[in-house]
Amino acid sequence: AQSVAQPEDQVNVAEGNPLTVKCTYSVSGNPYLFWYVQYPNRGLQFLLKYITGDNLVKGSYGFEAEFNKSQTSFHLKKPSALVSDSALYFCAVRATKAAGNKLTFGGGTRVLVKP
Protein backbone atom coordinates (compact mmCIF):
# COMPACT_ATOMS: atom_id res chain seq x y z
CA ALA A 1 0.00 0.00 0.00
CA GLN A 2 1.22 3.46 -0.78
CA SER A 3 1.56 6.15 1.87
CA VAL A 4 2.78 9.68 2.44
CA ALA A 5 4.23 11.11 5.63
CA GLN A 6 4.50 14.77 6.51
CA PRO A 7 6.34 14.62 9.83
CA GLU A 8 5.66 18.20 10.91
CA ASP A 9 2.16 19.32 11.80
CA GLN A 10 3.27 22.93 11.73
CA VAL A 11 6.24 24.92 10.49
CA ASN A 12 6.92 28.44 11.72
CA VAL A 13 9.25 30.72 9.80
CA ALA A 14 10.01 34.41 9.72
CA GLU A 15 9.22 36.33 6.57
CA GLY A 16 12.21 36.42 4.25
CA ASN A 17 13.70 33.21 5.64
CA PRO A 18 13.86 29.94 3.71
CA LEU A 19 10.88 27.63 4.04
CA THR A 20 11.05 23.83 3.91
CA VAL A 21 8.11 21.46 4.25
CA LYS A 22 9.08 17.81 4.52
CA CYS A 23 7.49 14.85 2.76
CA THR A 24 8.44 11.19 2.51
CA TYR A 25 6.59 8.52 0.62
CA SER A 26 6.22 4.80 0.16
CA VAL A 27 5.00 3.34 -3.11
CA SER A 28 5.55 0.36 -5.38
CA GLY A 29 7.49 1.26 -8.47
CA ASN A 30 8.21 4.75 -9.68
CA PRO A 31 6.20 7.50 -8.01
CA TYR A 32 4.43 10.50 -9.32
CA LEU A 33 4.65 13.19 -6.63
CA PHE A 34 2.59 16.32 -6.11
CA TRP A 35 2.34 19.31 -3.77
CA TYR A 36 -0.88 21.18 -3.11
CA VAL A 37 -1.66 24.25 -1.02
CA GLN A 38 -4.90 25.10 0.76
CA TYR A 39 -5.49 28.67 1.84
CA PRO A 40 -8.09 29.34 4.56
CA ASN A 41 -11.62 28.61 3.36
CA ARG A 42 -10.34 27.82 -0.11
CA GLY A 43 -10.01 24.67 -2.17
CA LEU A 44 -6.77 22.82 -2.80
CA GLN A 45 -4.51 24.35 -5.43
CA PHE A 46 -1.86 22.47 -7.36
CA LEU A 47 1.70 23.77 -6.81
CA LEU A 48 4.04 21.40 -8.63
CA LYS A 49 4.72 17.80 -9.58
CA TYR A 50 7.54 15.37 -10.20
CA ILE A 51 7.04 12.82 -12.94
CA THR A 52 10.49 12.04 -14.30
CA GLY A 53 13.72 13.77 -15.26
CA ASP A 54 15.35 16.57 -13.29
CA ASN A 55 15.09 15.96 -9.58
CA LEU A 56 14.47 19.65 -8.88
CA VAL A 57 11.08 20.83 -10.04
CA LYS A 58 9.81 24.38 -9.97
CA GLY A 59 6.21 25.38 -9.48
CA SER A 60 3.85 28.20 -8.75
CA TYR A 61 4.49 31.16 -6.41
CA GLY A 62 8.26 30.59 -6.30
CA PHE A 63 8.05 27.12 -4.77
CA GLU A 64 10.29 24.23 -5.74
CA ALA A 65 10.70 20.66 -4.61
CA GLU A 66 13.52 18.15 -4.74
CA PHE A 67 12.93 14.49 -5.48
CA ASN A 68 15.36 12.18 -3.68
CA LYS A 69 14.85 8.56 -4.67
CA SER A 70 17.29 7.05 -2.19
CA GLN A 71 15.63 8.85 0.73
CA THR A 72 12.12 8.53 -0.77
CA SER A 73 11.58 12.21 -0.09
CA PHE A 74 10.03 15.13 -1.92
CA HIS A 75 10.55 18.20 0.26
CA LEU A 76 8.94 21.50 -0.69
CA LYS A 77 11.10 24.61 -0.52
CA LYS A 78 10.92 28.33 -0.99
CA PRO A 79 14.05 30.48 -0.69
CA SER A 80 12.30 33.48 0.87
CA ALA A 81 8.93 33.01 2.55
CA LEU A 82 6.12 35.57 2.46
CA VAL A 83 3.38 36.14 5.02
CA SER A 84 0.94 35.24 2.24
CA ASP A 85 2.50 31.74 2.09
CA SER A 86 0.78 30.93 5.38
CA ALA A 87 -1.48 28.00 4.51
CA LEU A 88 -1.93 24.24 4.76
CA TYR A 89 0.35 22.23 2.49
CA PHE A 90 -0.25 18.68 1.29
CA CYS A 91 2.09 16.23 -0.35
CA ALA A 92 0.58 13.47 -2.49
CA VAL A 93 1.80 10.38 -4.31
CA ARG A 94 0.37 8.30 -7.10
CA ALA A 95 1.82 5.00 -8.19
CA THR A 96 2.10 4.02 -11.81
CA LYS A 97 -0.97 2.72 -13.58
CA ALA A 98 -0.18 -0.90 -12.92
CA ALA A 99 -0.27 -0.25 -9.19
CA GLY A 100 -3.72 1.25 -9.18
CA ASN A 101 -3.36 4.98 -9.70
CA LYS A 102 -4.90 6.03 -6.40
CA LEU A 103 -3.79 9.51 -5.32
CA THR A 104 -2.78 9.38 -1.67
CA PHE A 105 -2.26 12.48 0.47
CA GLY A 106 -0.18 13.15 3.53
CA GLY A 107 -1.71 14.58 6.68
CA GLY A 108 -0.77 18.13 5.81
CA THR A 109 1.62 20.69 7.28
CA ARG A 110 0.43 24.07 8.45
CA VAL A 111 2.87 26.84 7.57
CA LEU A 112 2.86 30.07 9.53
CA VAL A 113 5.03 32.87 8.22
CA LYS A 114 5.47 35.67 10.71
CA PRO A 115 6.23 39.24 9.66
Binding site for other proteins (CB under 8 A): 32, 34, 36, 38, 42-46, 49, 51, 88, 90, 94, 96-97, 100-108
Q: Which is nearer to other proteins, 19 or 48 (CB)?
A: 48
Strands 10-14 and 109-114, by their bridges, are: parallel
Which helix (DSSP H) or strand (DSSP E) does residue 37 occupy? Answer: strand 32-38
The one-letter code for the residue type at 4 is V
- Name the minimum Å distance from CB 14 to other proteins: 23
Minimal distance, residue 87 CB to other proteins, in Å: 11
Query: With the C-alpha atoms ordered 63, 87, 13, 31, is the resulting torsion angle positive or negative?
Result: negative
Least gap, CB of 47 to other proteins (angstroms) = 9
Residue placing its CB nearer to other proteins in the complex, 45 or 80:
45
Considering the complex, what minimum distance in angstroms separates the CB of residue 67 from other proteins? Answer: 13
Which of residues 13 and 48 has its CB atom nearest to other proteins in the complex? Answer: 48
At residue 111, what are phi and psi to the nearest 5 degrees?
A: -105, 130
What distance in Å separates the CA atoms of residue 38 and residue 60, rounded to the nearest whole number? 13
Query: Residue 28 or residue 45: which is nearer to other proteins going by CB?
Result: 45
Q: Is 60 helix (H, G, I), strand (E, B) or coil?
A: helix
